[in-house]
């Protein structure tokens, strides 16, 4: 049987985020997410795209440019793309962190909706 695409929510966790991103980006991404700086454009189980950032304030407060960011699954693996990254150097940046946190919230338990 061919392998199905994995859902992103199943590949993501707080541990995975911390492994992929630099500690500073985890902090900045958290700030962006906390301040509501993630606007989902489209969401499928295996691909989520959003506008991330564009908030005022310092970088530490989550401020900065707004970027189109995408997290998707490629087979069994997590993949991502941020318009703010150089073409051949896709780091898991603060935008990716913020979007990943948003996905975790959505994909997690159906508790409260924000």
The answer to whether the beta carbons of residues 79 and 72 sit under 8 Å apart is yes
The answer to whether the beta carbons of residues 98 and 32 sit under 8 Å apart is yes
Interface with Zn ion, residue 53, by CB under 5 A = no
Interface with Zn ion, residue 93, by CB under 5 A = yes
State in angstroms the smallest separation of the CB of 51 from Zn ion: 11
Interface with Zn ion, residue 9, by CB under 5 A = no
Interface with Zn ion, residue 102, by CB under 5 A = no
> Residue 102, CB half-sphere, CA atoms under 13 Å: how many?
30
Continuous H helices in 4-93: 8-11, 14-20, 23-34
Pick the stretch among 6-14, 30-38, 66-74, 106-114 that binds Zn ion (CB under 5 A). 66-74
Footprint of Zn ion (CB under 5 A) = 67, 82, 84, 93, 95
């Amino acid at each position: 049987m061919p392998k199905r695409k994995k859902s992103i929510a199943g590949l993501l966790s707080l541990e995975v985020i911390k492994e992929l991103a630099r500690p500073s980006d985890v902090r900045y991404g958290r700030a962006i997410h906390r301040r509501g700086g993630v606007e989902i454009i489209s969401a499928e189980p295996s691909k989520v795209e959003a506008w991330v950032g564009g908030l005022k304030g310092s970088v530490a407060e989550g401020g900065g440019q707004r970027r189109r960011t995408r997290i998707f699954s490629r087979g069994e693996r997590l993949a991502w793309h941020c318009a703010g990254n150089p073409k051949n150097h896709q780091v898991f940046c603060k935008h990716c962190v913020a979007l990943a946190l948003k996905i975790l919230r959505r994909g997690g338990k159906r508790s409260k909706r924000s």
